[in-house]
A and B are shown apart, each in its own frame.
Chain A
Amino acid sequence: MSVSLGRNVFAPRVAQKGDCLHHFQSRRFIRSSARSLTYAKDLFLGKVNKAEVFPFPEISKEELEELNQLVQPVEKFFNEDVDSKKIDHEAVIPPETLNGLKELGLFGIQVPEEYGGLGLSNTMYARLGEITSLDGAIAVTLAAHQAIGLKGILIAGNDSQKAKYLPRLATGEHIAAFCLTEPGSGSDAASIQTRATLTEDGKHFLLNGTKFWISNGGWADIMTVFARTEVVDKDSQKKDKITAFIVERAFGGVTSGKPEDKLGIRGSNTCEITFEDTKVPIENVIGEVGGGFKVAMNILNNGRFSMGSAGAGMIKRLIELTSEYASTRKQFNRSLSEFGMIQDKFATMALNAFVMESMAYLTAGMMDRPGVPDCSLEAAMVKVFSSEGSWICVSEALQVLGGLGFTKNYPYERYLRDCRILQIFEGTNEILRMYIALTGMQYAGKILTGKIKEMKKGNVGVVFEILGKKLKDSVVKTVDFGLTGKDGVVHPSLTESAKMFEQNAAHFGSTVESLLYRYGKTIVEEQLVLKKVADVLINLYAMTAVLSRTSRSVSIGLRNHDHEVLLTNTFCKDAHFKNNFLLTQLQKNSPENNDANIKKIAQEVIAKRAYVCSHPLDRTF
């Protein structure tokens, strides 16, 4: 119900393209009727909420026109005025380039227009991300500024904070940074040591501590800093809680270290920042004192989706570059593009770009819907899939050129170095896989606990119900979530792929149940299991995204939609069999599962902290 209501209210809003106030108001209004539906989480229960992902989200014609008007100058700027090779070589973005970016308004893409930004939605932000990603250093600089740096003020700041800081941040006059990571806490945010103590007059906090790997740390004027503060909780006990602060460099006591010399994204500035008795006024607390954790979580969890479109943008450029080379270069009297193994690489690149794009825009569309969309799981999946896909594609593109690709004469080695960071920052892929799998497990576990407990007790009724269901499943082979058929949401040309998806989704649901039965809450310790769970879910979401996108394309007759059908069917078949294998590995006593051995190898190697085997040339006599 709430969804259809949301749509109705949303529809007229879309027409008012620029009216941000209205935009926000309509959002506020909807927030009261909280949407309970989630897509990825429900997959853990073996449910497919097709209403969430079908039809593929789209933007209004006016919005599209506005976006295209924005995109053209940005594209032109990146093609003509950005010298990526020089940025990479000199490890600094020249001021004229930065000024160009500021003039284009790229420092305030998502800042509402009333504060001087472009006030674009997530979808439109993703579209611009496709272009900015053509230079990794610029993309990271911009992302650190607005995707995380000023996001805290944007989503949790109060009006006076917004009015004070956002205008100058949106124009790029001030640059923002996000300071969470510390020397002692990489991914473990709980061990934050930076401390903020209230001064005696109660009007300021004194900030002390060091933050590590801060993008834009060298030139940021405004920083979102997370620090421990002492909070008196309900039981009137003193406790340490994390609080978010807006810190201006002008407050004093802020020193930046030397910029790190990095493998890739060399033009971006990454350094250490030390706070020494930095006096932060109490009104600069974002949210409430002790509520910094939620702020950090919201900033990080929903900011990752844009990596999908960024990766896709990069791969699309690489396809253009390499296909020209492959078609002109002759080997054995045939052009390179005639060889199957080279063709394989182009197919890989096209498939990856297509899937990334679909996932990114589906997620962005979901986030743009009214209400408080909980898309953190989806955003994390987009990040994991696209970061790994980009790495593979860049490597394949380089391979097409062979030795030439390895030289600095071509941009491939720079792309390769730049895109390596994608798997590391904004939560490493390992951490995100854990997040994806565990969040879903927690959600499914809450609902399934009762049933599993009954089963463990040996409740005859429940056992019979399950046996009956299993019997039914084995007799009636096909699972039907209603994606296809008479009232189906998937285009008939994709029926086979949709069936494969449905099969996987059903199988995934039952696997999650059996995993919960087997491991209960101790599944937190089973990282290899969780990795597989996350991988299956990522594949499922990717399948959903391409099915949804292509169905729309075919239905409205987009140009080259037959190619999309081809890509979708290819990807779904591939993902289906990968999922089947992963799900088989997740069965109990599965011979395909090598986890125990993998663990043992690692344990033996780590106990020695060296490669264990003797040299093959060693002798005993």
Chain B
Amino acid sequence: MSQSDYHMHYIITNYFEVYFLGSFQYICNSSAVVCDVIIMNAPRQLLRIQCIGCIARILGKPVQRVILPTGAHLQTPGSQHNYGQLLRPFHCSAVCSTSRPSRTQLEKTVEDETLNKDKSLVTHDDLFERAARDSKTKADFNRVVDVFSKKDIRRRGHVEFIYAALKKMPEFGVERDITVYNKLLDVFPKEVFMPRNFIQRMFNHYPRQQECGVQLLEQMENYGIMPNVETKVLLAQIFGEKSHPMRKYQRIMYWFPKFKHANPFPVPHVLPSDPVELARFSLTRIADDLDAKITIYQYPSTDITETGEEVMRPHIVGIQSPNQRSLLAKHNPCRPVFVEGPFPLWLRKTCVHYYLLRADPVPSEEKVEEEFDPEMMGPEQSLFYPQRLDLDLERDMGDDFRFDVDDVEEGPVYAMCMAGQADQVTLSQWISGLQETCPILGQIPTVFRLDSGPRELQTTSDAQQTPEQEVETDQITEEEPLHSQRVKQ
């Protein structure tokens, strides 16, 4: 219970104490009672015994005021009207775009539903199913919502409808669309569920509707959609300023902005569709080195040989930093390097695989101590300044803030790549590409240690990818304008 909730509760119990005592009556500044800014012990001070009788005043006057002070900007009839005016055309626009015939069909369905209400159970799920038998897009979804809103001025069954709509949203690919959520919220009749007196306010007024509103906001929250001002206006019109959905809204608005940039390595919602671009994105993400350079060793292409066979040439994209390159140049050619993989990398719901070129850690006996020339680095010898002092004094314990960390020695990783095919042929193409910058690779034995397990997994996922890809491409076409906009920005 938030602090303001607590206040309400506290004040209300006080009301009752006074009421049941029967002998006291109090007058208080009701606006102050409801206002959030009351400090904890304020109500107690406000309990002023001033005159006896007049229970009506407690019941009538404060309640009216209760609504007014906090929501004054919304509650004035004129402004409310204005909001409605503003919102309506906004929502209508989607309806205009729908095609005529399917609409009539849908209306018929709805009519059927209303007529046969007593006889058969036509769920709202069916409404969506029927509406969009062949295509499931945002326009279709909006059309269903519009039809529902238009068919009955009382909006009977709107709670069920909203629940059904929420469930269907991912199917239509609109689960991340704030305008659709607002449109759904607009299905609720306005002002009906607003508490009119303090008793209504005290108890859970229209619990099913409020619950439904909260559910809608919850779904938004789960998909990471931030409500906007329109949502707030709608909630205020439907449930009032102090309702549970409004509270939910306020909590979302409190936490969401705070957590918006909590992830320092965000993955975009729409991943690049081009496998080369995707590989480029994933590899830079793993490498986390601003110096690392992406090299595209091979673009994906399809060749047709003389015999008419189609030969797929998979993409090979690699990444290597200058440090890795110089490490590789120093590699002892007697020791082998390994091409290992595939290792999975999850980017939201997509899994990609990458391969490493690595070596075993250098055994301690082979390590060459970096030579240091006392003439160059030593005290009073250096040209510019000594790189080290010739003193027999260590850092004092009080100034030694190093942690005692056990270092685990690992072998160096020389390069990384992603390829369209997970076979040795493709990967050896990568290695030969690397040889251009690191000629020493030609002398080093290269061992391919490709795990079969994950590869099989990948092939199955490849097989599965076909339908998945379709869905994805659908989504991409749907959201392409948005994506391209972002690129432009």
Chain B residue numbers with a CB within 8 Å of A519 are 395-396, 399
B residues 347-405 with Cβ under 8 Å of A?
A: 373, 375-377, 379-396, 398-399
User: Do A521 and B383 touch (CB < 8 A)?
Assistant: no
Q: Is A9 an interface residue (CB 8 A)?
A: no
Q: Is A469 an interface residue (CB 8 A)?
A: no
A189–B383 Cα distance when bound, in Å, is 7
User: Do A520 and B398 touch (CB < 8 A)?
Assistant: no
Q: Is B87 an interface residue (CB 8 A)?
A: no
Contact-residue bracket for chain B: 20 to 34
A298–B312 Cα distance when bound, in Å, is 68
Q: State the Cβ distance, A154 to closest chain B Cβ, in Å.
A: 19
User: Do A445 and B389 touch (CB < 8 A)?
Assistant: yes
Q: Is B77 an interface residue (CB 8 A)?
A: no
A520–B377 Cα distance when bound, in Å, is 17
Chain B residue numbers with a CB within 8 Å of A242 are 375
User: Do B261 and A521 touch (CB < 8 A)?
Assistant: no
A389–B113 Cα distance when bound, in Å, is 90
Give the secondary structure class of A's interface: helix
Contact residue among B261, B393, B399 (Cβ-Cβ distance under 8 Å from A449): B393
A523–B390 Cα distance when bound, in Å, is 11
Known: A189-B384, A621-B256. A588 touches B398 (CB 8 A): yes
Chain A residue numbers with a CB within 8 Å of B261 are 620
A188–B388 Cα distance when bound, in Å, is 14
Known: A241-B375, A521-B393. A427 touches B399 (CB 8 A): no
Known: A293-B376, A431-B384, A620-B261. A520 touches B391 (CB 8 A): yes
Q: State the Cβ distance, B328 to closest chain A Cβ, in Å.
A: 20
Contact residue among B253, B256, B382, B396 (Cβ-Cβ distance under 8 Å from A518): B396
Give the secondary structure class of B's interface: loop
Instruction: Pick from B384, B387, B388, B395 the residue with the most CB of A within 10 Å.
Output: B384
Known: A190-B373, A441-B389, A524-B389. A456 touches B383 (CB 8 A): no
Residue interface bits A174-195, CB-to-B below 8 A is 1, else 0: 0000001000000111100000
**Interface residues on chain A, number (Cβ under 8 Å):** 41
A187–B383 Cα distance when bound, in Å, is 9
Chain A residue numbers with a CB within 8 Å of B399 are 518-519, 588
Residue interface bits A573-598, CB-to-B below 8 A is 1, else 0: 00000000000000010000000000
Q: State the Cβ distance, B434 to closest chain A Cβ, in Å.
A: 25
A289–B180 Cα distance when bound, in Å, is 83
Residue interface bits A590-621, CB-to-B below 8 A is 1, else 0: 00000000000000000001000000000011
Contact residue among B260, B379, B394, B395 (Cβ-Cβ distance under 8 Å from A442): B379
User: Do A293 and B381 touch (CB < 8 A)?
Assistant: yes
User: Do A449 and B394 touch (CB < 8 A)?
Assistant: no
A53–B312 Cα distance when bound, in Å, is 84
A293–B253 Cα distance when bound, in Å, is 67
A241–B253 Cα distance when bound, in Å, is 68
A522–B396 Cα distance when bound, in Å, is 10
A residues 511-553 with Cβ under 8 Å of B?
A: 516-524
Chain B residue numbers with a CB within 8 Å of A523 are 389
User: Do B393 and A442 touch (CB < 8 A)?
Assistant: no
Contact residue among B228, B376, B380, B396 (Cβ-Cβ distance under 8 Å from A520): B396
User: Do B377 and A190 touch (CB < 8 A)?
Assistant: yes
Q: Is B257 an interface residue (CB 8 A)?
A: yes
Q: State the Cβ distance, B205 to closest chain A Cβ, in Å.
A: 28
Chain A residue numbers with a CB within 8 Å of B392 are 449, 453, 521
A522–B395 Cα distance when bound, in Å, is 6
A506–B392 Cα distance when bound, in Å, is 24
Q: Is B56 an interface residue (CB 8 A)?
A: no
Q: State the Cβ distance, B56 to closest chain A Cβ, in Å.
A: 44
Known: A189-B383, A431-B385, A621-B253. A449 touches B260 (CB 8 A): no
Q: State the Cβ distance, A36 to closest chain B Cβ, in Å.
A: 15
A439–B389 Cα distance when bound, in Å, is 9
Q: Is B28 an interface residue (CB 8 A)?
A: no
A438–B384 Cα distance when bound, in Å, is 11
Chain B residue numbers with a CB within 8 Å of A431 are 384-385
Hey, which bits of chain B sit against chain A, CB under 8 A?
Answer: 226, 228, 253, 256-258, 260-261, 290, 373, 375-377, 379-396, 398-399
